[in-house]
Amino acid sequence: MKLSFRMNLTRIFVDSDLEEQAIVQLNSAQSHYLSSVLRKKNGFELILFNGRDGGFLCKVETSSKRSISVYCKRKVFSQTTSPDLWILFVPIKKIRMDFLVQKVTELGVSKIWPVQSEFGQVKQIKNEKIRSHTIEAAEQTERLDLPEIGNFMKLQTVLETWPVDRMLIVCDETKSEINKARPMTALNSLRLKKAAILIGPEGGFSSKEQKKLKSYPFTEHISLGPRILRSDTAAIAALSIFQANFGDWYKPPVS
């Protein structure tokens, strides 16, 4: 499917199984969006995806403000998955955390995991709210899968059960000075096939947490430059560096 054509198609995530000639009933919010916001009628074409079966070119069969049925014409995209890359972060205030979740989804993480630290201010997380933001981001970016969402728990608990074959890249603001700085590109790329990035709270990790993080063999501490970045900025910067150097932004040339 040509890029110019597919960019003009509305994309909607559904939980239903998808196959050619299937009829899919959109939920009330999706039906309202198409009929009342976009003002689309019968015959309108769109893309449906569910994170499992690929992307399907579909058309609206029956349309009303409360109920829309969609017919799956043909499969146009094979299912793809994002790199095996996790992002862990200490939650921040609502608007900025919503932004963070959307952007890390756009950047291709396979798991989003909020964790609690000593200096973290947020004590409760609603996974369904995080999921709604991942769906919105995936619909806007042609992503065909959704990131897994980890349960909110203490950082110490996460570390105690951490898979030792997965590198945990700690974005460490204490390494912002030139003589202490260590860029992500200095890491062993062979160990980055399974990786995770940890973004701390805006007050930084406590001295106890810093000491604990440095005690594990699977952690690597890196710098994100000479300035202290806010959490959402740090997440975007770290993921951009990773994807550009080790992830799926560019395919290596065939030798």
**One-character DSSP codes across 21-38:** T-EEE--HHHHHIIIIIS
Q: What CATH number should be reported for the domain whose range is 3-77?
A: 2.40.240.20
Name residue 215's amino acid: S
For residue 87, the surrounding DSSP H or E stretch is: strand 85-89
Q: How many helices (H) and strands (E) does the chain have?
A: 7, 12
Residue 225, token pair as written in the block: 């430059």
Q: What is the C-alpha to C-alpha distance for residues 209 and 97, in angstroms, rounded to an integer?
A: 22
Closest CA to 93 of 113, 128, 119, 122: 122
What pLDDT was estimated at residue 161? 94
Closest CA to 174 of 131, 203, 132: 203
The predicted model scores a pTM of 0.90
Cβ burial of 195 (10 Å; 0-12, 13-18, 19+) is buried
Give me the residue label for tokens 């409760």. Answer: 124
Q: Give the sheet arrangement for strand 10-13, strand by strand.
A: 10-13, 45-49, 55-63, 68-77, 23-25
Answer whether 3-77 and 85-245 agree in fold. no
Q: What is the C-alpha to C-alpha distance for residues 213 and 1, in angstroms, rounded to an integer?
A: 47
Closest CA to 77 of 166, 9, 137: 9
| CB atoms near residue 93 (< 10 Å) | 12
What pLDDT was estimated at residue 1? 58
What pLDDT was estimated at residue 177? 67
Q: What backbone phi and psi angles, to 5 degrees, belong to 238?
A: -65, -45
Task: Answer whether CATH 3.40.1280.10 is correct for domain 85-245.
Answer: yes
Name residue 154's amino acid: K
Residue 56, token pair as written in the block: 């399907």
Q: What is the pLDDT along the chain (255 residues), one digit of tens a residue?
A: 555 556 679 999 999 999 999 999 999 999 988 988 888 888 899 999 999 999 999 999 887 767 899 999 999 999 999 999 999 999 988 899 999 999 999 999 999 999 999 888 888 889 999 999 999 999 999 999 999 999 999 999 999 999 999 999 999 887 666 667 789 999 988 888 899 999 999 888 999 999 999 999 999 999 998 888 999 999 999 999 999 999 998 766 555
- In the chain, what are the domain boundaries? 3-77, 85-245
User: For the chain, how far is it from start to end, CA to CA, in angstroms?
Assistant: 29
DSSP state of 192: G
| CB atoms near residue 72 (< 10 Å) | 19
What pLDDT was estimated at residue 104? 98
